[in-house]
Chains A and B, each alone.
Chain A
């Protein structure tokens, strides 16, 4: 197998960034700034970094302004800890929350177009789970650019990378990490337009491939979010962490699940059931519509289960209403311009006059490749992998634990991107050159591609994809049980087998969309398998992971799940302790950083 396929070129660089979204390019910009002349190559699956998934983030980026008389960093740290259902790492929480405002100023001085207050300062809005005085009342903490904050951030880090001479390679995927004696020395990539394989040797490699919720029927993720980076790590024998924690955002626009930002509720929108009752008051009496996402999504599903939802004929889907009718016209037209246009275009409703149909949509992978607080990838509890770093949604340091607060992901991208940039600059000072290309480089990916290209089977790609997406939504979605998870595992094994027997439409390597999608489908099935196995292991409910057969949180599971799967179906587990350093430091209100009860 693998005959005919070869490495067409070899490039070398100081830093290889796999995935040129917000996190990857914030790291690249920092390295470019601090170490001018570095040769940095940034890979993206799309044509330009500007088209990355980061660009679709809407609502805002949390950061406590030191001049704000009401807000304090410790409130933000507490909210993040409580929001995670006591499963985030406190060293990371502290680092990220403390860096927030500095990074906001960095974005501002590098050209991001923030929305402004009347005084000309950066405007802020409330968001779910972000509160003042340890949970008392909503905080104005999310800095934003209308409802396109992600685009503002993406444009800014891309601009800066461009300015510092980062080389972008678009329309490509990394298919294999190159390792020598336990050190990462780069990756093999596949370029879509020419169908070529290129080896890139690098002193330091950063995985920043983003999220992977395309295995869910309803998903806010872009087409290419298929877990490629996590599969890279798994194939290299490295673990992934907390994959059972998949965030379903409460308000996806009914149909494909396009995101309708939490900023809508931040600006005052209200969720209503079919009787137009504002039902969140019953589920979260204090935070109401601005409770964290896991709670709101479960509340919506509960309403639908109790027959208080609605049914959309055209999209064949259950939903509830989001009511924006009472918001001033200026809010619709300026602050929520993009989302309001989505409702008009994609479902034909006018949010100024009509109720908007929404349903939970798979949105974010809280877990990812485990790293320490500096973004260095961990092989196991004791060892890091020299030369390999990870940040952004693909990584878990972990700021979010098992549930992420809105606006904390953009904050994480930017702060951890910079932290990793700093670490890489240090690492490059005395790192060894990557040396020659290993002789077996590319063999496993050549085997894999040859299998797909030679397949004469009778299985149907679309059928497997759709079965997978329905399966994950139904059985590994918001509500899970042992039974549903075991059924899902059986089905996933079947799908994995079928996916090896999809007939290929054309054997050309150039822009072969069919080949590309079969490769992605295999990645999705692998990651789905790890999500499901991890969900089965965690016999409790915490954050976004909800087990109907174990509906309470249990102290027995006060740890992160580490999962290894170098061969499909052979998953082994380990546990990583939760960092409790804020609690252990015994500072101000430290008792709130214990495993506290979580009520909103």
Chain B
């Protein structure tokens, strides 16, 4: 076995039964290749079965396990202990829930509420263009797809929305806005006017202050702010 890392986790706790919140400290010794989800599981197994946290696929494809680690929103499933020690230059980590939705318990937030933002952006094709004359697939060049394909990789983990300086203040948020911009760039969508109405309304893209925090924290390394800039420029 490789060397063990002694680390300290200071975790925000919240009990919905008593409405009490506190910070609890856990000390663990773990292998460097463990992910933070493994560390949280280890705490459940060995120290405290009541600590609640969320995850699902645990390999950065679903976006269920977003948390704040030392102030940075990230996916707990893809942060390895050795990388965390290096990246944050410490053995002590402060874990807090994402700030984009109400806390359910401990590190679990009600992302169902956050998803209302995505629903408002209408992620589907509102009015698809007629099919290719033969009745089979559209013809879309790889070059065209390349202009927006990065944005389609978004998993709605809401790390960007948590980091965004505007999304807590009347902005639909970077990921939801990007969903809309993808469909504006999608040659199959004909309802461009309705999409622009969503894009430029009160909670739309001009709420963005171009801090570029979204691009900085995105676990999928999508340049979210690039797409928001295209939205502002009307270049889709």
Contact = CB atoms under 8 A, between A and B. Distances in A.
A314 B33 contact: yes
Interface residues of B, number: 66
A266 to B, nearest CB: 18
Interface stretch (B49-57, B160-168, B205-213): B49-57
Nearest to A518: B49
B111 A48 contact: yes
A53 interface: yes
B229 interface: no
B1 A111 contact: no
A46 B140 contact: no
A36 to B, nearest CB: 15
B49 A511 contact: no
Contact of B137 (A46, A53, A111, A121): A121
Nearest to B32: A314
A211 to B, nearest CB: 12
A168 B62 CA distance: 17
Contacts of A504: 49
B137 A108 contact: yes
Nearest to B152: A113
Interface stretch (B21-29, B87-95, B118-126): B118-126
B56 A224 contact: yes
B123 A162 contact: yes
A318 B46 CA distance: 27
A438 to B, nearest CB: 29
Contacts of A338: 61, 153
Contacts of A462: 44-46
A209 B108 CA distance: 23
Interface in B116-144: 118-119, 122-125, 128, 131, 134-142, 144
Contacts of B105: 193, 510-511, 513
B140 A120 contact: yes
A475 B64 CA distance: 32
Nearest to A221: B57
A223 B50 contact: no
Nearest to B61: A56
Contacts of B156: 48, 50
Given A510-B16, A510-B105, A163 B124 contact: yes
Interface in B165-192: 183, 186, 188-189
Given A109-B131, A148-B61, A223 B56 contact: yes
A255 interface: yes
A170 B186 CA distance: 29
Given A159-B124, A508-B17, A514-B50, A223 B58 contact: yes
Interface string A482-518: 0000000000000000000000111010110110000
B142 A118 contact: yes
Contacts of B60: 341-342, 345
Contacts of B186: 111, 113
Nearest to A123: B142
Given A50-B155, A116-B140, A346-B59, A162 B119 contact: yes
A47 interface: yes
B123 A155 contact: yes
Nearest to A337: B153
A433 interface: no
Contacts, number: 185
A342 B128 contact: no
B115 interface: yes
A316 B1 contact: yes
Nearest to B62: A51
A372 interface: no
Contacts of B144: 120
A111 B136 contact: no
A305 interface: no
Contacts of B54: 47
A595 interface: no
Contacts of A342: 59-60
Given A46-B62, A109-B188, A116-B142, A314 B57 contact: no
A513 B52 contact: yes
Contacts of B17: 508, 510
A47 B111 contact: yes
A46 B55 CA distance: 9
B136 to A, nearest CB: 6
A52 B56 CA distance: 8
B16 A511 contact: yes
A105 B131 contact: yes
Given A108-B137, A151-B153, 7 more contacts: A52-B62, A55-B155, A111-B188, A115-B142, A155-B152, A193-B108, A513-B105
Interface of A: 46-48, 50-53, 55-56, 65, 67, 101, 104-105, 108-111, 113-122, 146, 148, 151-152, 155, 158-160, 162-163, 168, 170-171, 192-193, 222-224, 255-256, 258-259, 313-316, 337-338, 341-342, 345-348, 461-462, 504-506, 508, 510-511, 513-514
Interface of B: 1-2, 15-17, 31-33, 35, 44-46, 48-64, 78, 80, 104-105, 108, 110-112, 115, 118-119, 122-125, 128, 131, 134-142, 144-145, 149, 152-153, 155-156, 183, 186, 188-189
29 contacts: A48-B112, A48-B156, A55-B62, A56-B57, A65-B136, A101-B136, A105-B135, A108-B137, A116-B145, A120-B142, A122-B137, A152-B152, A160-B124, A162-B123, A168-B112, A222-B58, A255-B33, A345-B80, A346-B35, A346-B59, A346-B78, A505-B50, A506-B50, A510-B104, A511-B16, A511-B104, A513-B49, A513-B52, A514-B50
A-B interface, 6 closest residue pairs, ranked by CB to CB distance from nearest:
A159-B124, A462-B45, A120-B139, A505-B49, A511-B105, A505-B50
